[in-house]
Structure 1
Amino acid sequence: MATNSKMFEKKSDDKIKKNIFSYYPKTRKDITYNQLFAFAGMQGWRTSNEDFHKHLIPIDDQSWKRIDTAKNAANLVDKYIIDALNQIRLNPNNELIDKSQFNINQFSYIIKNKFLQLDKHLSTLVNDQSGSVCIVCLIGPLYIYLINLGDSRGIIISNNGQVLASTKDHKPSVEQEKKRIEKAGGRVTQCENDVPRVEYKLAISRTLGDYTFDKRFIPASPDIIQYPINSSASFVIIACDGIWDVMTNEQVAQFVSQKASNTSIQDIASQLLDQSFILGSTDNMSIYIIKISN
């Protein structure tokens, strides 16, 4: 692998803030894959890897495929969130909703309610004031669902690299989020040479945890995208902000589509980590590439 040598220069002391960054990057990759998906992750310049992920592999054509990722400064919080998400069912009878009776409004209500319950329950289980963001991908018989809370992101792309659908980041820099926070009585502030933050601290506007903040400002309320499985959708890509900080939706979509015909998806996922690292990502990096069977 050819890598820009500047990326491996020792970090200067002024960049080792609060023990967040290492002097040298950790570039070993965690790669998991089968015929349906590939996952790749790298710790990078951070002193620890704060990304967690989990996937459920379908048994047959009627099963729901599911991918979860979470990111947080406290490992215990993330591990609990991933385990809790794995226990969510789609109706009160603890069964999957029959596709003939499926209602997107019912689905959205159940999922959002489960996230709020999880956030409330989490506060009783962990003695920690940090928080987490997460993104979930559900692939059913008829639709793809992207469930996003925070600044991880998911996109659905066509075979030629067109972005068909994308989640929106929950950041105080987004005007709609800024207005919501201010309406709830909070403040979006920005210091010189910094990003907008909630009350001078948090650069995310929706989270699980972060109980030192008024949860009206940063609710555990995910956005949900429903997209039909049709001849256009070829891949779902979900990744943490370590990827999206340095690559746009369109750049990632083109990167995947241009290599898909002659490169395995696990190699594409691995190469996306390399590309993000070369482009200057200083965060943990995690990405899933999921094939859609039309």
Structure 2
Amino acid sequence: MGVYLSAPKREKTTVVGQGNGFVYAASSMQGWRVSMEDADICCPNLDNGIQLYGVFDGHGGQEVSSFVQKNFSEQLLNNTEFQQKDFTNALIQNFMKMDELLRSEEGKAQLRDIMKDKSKTDTTAGCTANVVLIHENTMYIANAGDSRTLLSQNGIPKRLSEDHKPDNMKEYQRIREAGGDVQNGRVNGNLNLSRALGDLQYKKNFQIPQDKQLIIAKPDVTIHKITPDDEFILIGCDGIWETLSDEEIIKYIRQQIALGVSCDKIVEQLLDLLLAPDMLNGCGCDNMTCILVTLQDYDQLKNKYMQIKEFQEADGSQEQNSSKSPTNHQNQDDDSQTQQNNAQNEQSINSQNEETQ
């Protein structure tokens, strides 16, 4: 089957918690892929109330995403700019620091431990990185690659990061200036990303700065002041965004909160909803990892959403519409956690699928 399994692995790794009044939940699922290459971090109190969340989508192996998961928070805490609360530069420096560590002898030793192969001295693996740092009422979103942070503002989706693809003009110009080319949307016909951590084979021209290479680790950083209209963010690897639109994902999460579904069950069921029933079109077949972080009190959000007529009508029509859903297969998950979901949650998925056709 190559990079795909004959049947998807639906078992999930899920964590849930609270930080400074926010609720967060993260869940990951291997899906159709033969191995799991995603990693994530959830630090609701990294330092003096500062929160840190991140998704790292690996490619070419899981060693770089696991390496970043292990080292990112510690290195950020040791960063001078972070200690001075210059979070934009701290995040940029920390992304670049990951590559520096991967080149070091200490980093190579860590990679060998992760790969459980003492004979290997190098790796061609890499990972995207989408990291959200929350300090007081401000979010700093650092992104390298095509993982994404999506914000719900009173139900209106707003992307807080921009995907980095080789055919984006800014990325394309840098790649050409570094001596490379873009073929079929891929750098030198190989990698379909223009920014990533690791992938050191694309960063070997030491005659130019590291932020001018074919592939760079330097992130774009978006600063967003949290407003009363901001409800929650969803951080996800690229597999999260393949099946449903931003609007449909936001609507689904709001409806689930209106029904009183806990955040950990929401992200678990979202992964089931996004998982492809087969591999015919390639969408929904990737590893999937997402982190949901509420920016308001969960009960306040629930009460707010319960007043929305659309959600009230959807709740009342669950039984009538459930048999019509084209994706009932997604509710037949044999995962032990998913089996514990109550009938109301399953009916909600069916209703949402009916609405998004």
- Coarse TM-score class (shorter-chain normalised): 0.7 to 0.9
* Change over 3 Å in CA distance of 1:291–1:169 after alignment to 2: same
C-alpha distance in 1, partners of 2:251/2:89?
A: 34
Unaligned 5+ runs, structure 2: 109-121, 205-212, 278-282, 298-357
Counterpart of 2:53, as a letter, is: I
Offset, 1:184: 2.8
Q: Deviations over 1:145-204 (max 9, x none)?
A: 11111111111212x3212342111111323322222233220001xxxxx100010001
Deviates more, 1:128-137 or 1:107-116: 107-116
In 2, the alpha carbon distance for the partners of 1:225 and 1:138 equals 10
| CA-CA distance at 1:209 after TM superposition | 1.3
1:93 is displaced (CA, Å) by: 4.6
Q: Which amino acid aligns with 2:43?
A: L
Give how far 1:248 is off. Answer: 2.7
| Residues 138 and 224, structure 2, Cα contact 8 Å, conserved in 1 | yes
Separation (CA, whole Å) in 1 of partners of 2:227 and 2:145: 28
Matches within 5 A, 1:227-242: 227-242=224-239
Structure 1 counterpart of 2:257, from 243, 255, 260: 260
CA distance in 1, matches of 2:125, 2:46: 36
In 2 relative to 1, CA 27–185 (structure 1 residues): closer, same or farther, beyond 3 Å?
Answer: same
Tell me the amino acid that sits aligned with residue 240 of structure 1. Answer: C
* Secondary structure at the counterpart of residue 200 of structure 1: coil
Deviations 1:43-73 (A, max 9, x none): 100111111112112399x501111221213
- Residue 140 (1) aligns with residue 107 (2): no
Aligned-residue identity in percent = 29
Displacement after TM superposition at 1:240 (Å): 0.7
Q: SS state of the match for residue 236, structure 1?
A: strand
Partner residue in 1 for 2:160: 166
Offset at 1:129?
1.4
The answer to whether the 8 Å contact 1:90/1:111 transfers is: no
Q: What pairs with 1:99-114 in structure 2 (closer than 5 Å)?
A: 106-114=86-94
Residue 94 of structure 1 and its aligned partner are, at CA, apart by: 7.7
1:184 counterpart (178, 183, 188): 178
| Aligned 1:196-215 pairs, distance under 5 A | 196-214=185-203
Residue in structure 1 matched with residue 61 of structure 2 by the alignment:
74
Q: Distance in 1 between matches of 2:46 and 2:92?
A: 27
* Larger helix percent: 2
The separation in 2 between residues aligned to 1:268 and 1:59, in whole angstroms, is 25
Match of 1:222 in 2: 219
Number of aligned residues: 263
Alignment deviations for residues 102-155 of structure 1 (CA, whole Å, 9 cap, x no partner): 5xxx43223212222221221233321111111111111020111111111111
3-state DSSP class of the match of 2:75?
coil
Q: What residue ranges of structure 1 are gaps of 5+ in the alignment?
A: 1-15, 191-195
Cα RMSD (Å) of the superposition? 2.2
Which of 287, 290, 297 does residue 287 from structure 1 map onto? 290
Distance in 1, matches of 2:89 and 2:83, equals 15
> Are residues 292 and 207 of structure 1, via their aligned partners in 2, closer, same or farther at CA, if it must alter by over 3 Å?
same
Rounded Cα–Cα distance in structure 2 between residues aligned with 1:224 and 1:47: 33
C-alpha separation in 2, matches of 1:39 and 1:92: 26
Counterpart CA distance in 2 for 1:276 and 1:234 is 22
> 1:91 deviation in Å?
7.8
1:24 to 2:21 alignment: no
Distance 1:131 1:71 in 2: 8
Contact 2:76–2:82 (Cα < 8 Å) also in 1: yes
> Does 1:120 find its partner at 2:100?
yes
Tell me if the contact between 1:165 and 1:227 (Cα under 8 Å) persists in the aligned partners. Answer: no
Matched AA of 2:32: W
Stretches of 4+ aligned residues off by more than 3 angstroms: 88-97
The whole-number CA distance in structure 2 between the counterparts of 1:227 and 1:166 is 8
Q: Distance in 2 between matches of 1:74 and 1:37?
A: 27
Q: Map Cα deviations across residues 241-284 of structure 1 (whole Å, 9 max, x no partner).
A: 11112233222222212322222222221121111114741100
In structure 2, distance between residues paired with 1:90 and 1:204 = 28
Structure ID, larger Rg: 2
Residue pair 2:92, 2:142 contacting (<8 A) in 1 also: no
Q: Which stretch of structure 1 is more off in the superposition, 232-241 or 116-125?
A: 116-125
Looking at structure 2, the residues matched to 224 and 217 of structure 1 have their Cα atoms a distance apart, in angstroms, of 20
Change (3 A) 1:221 1:291: same
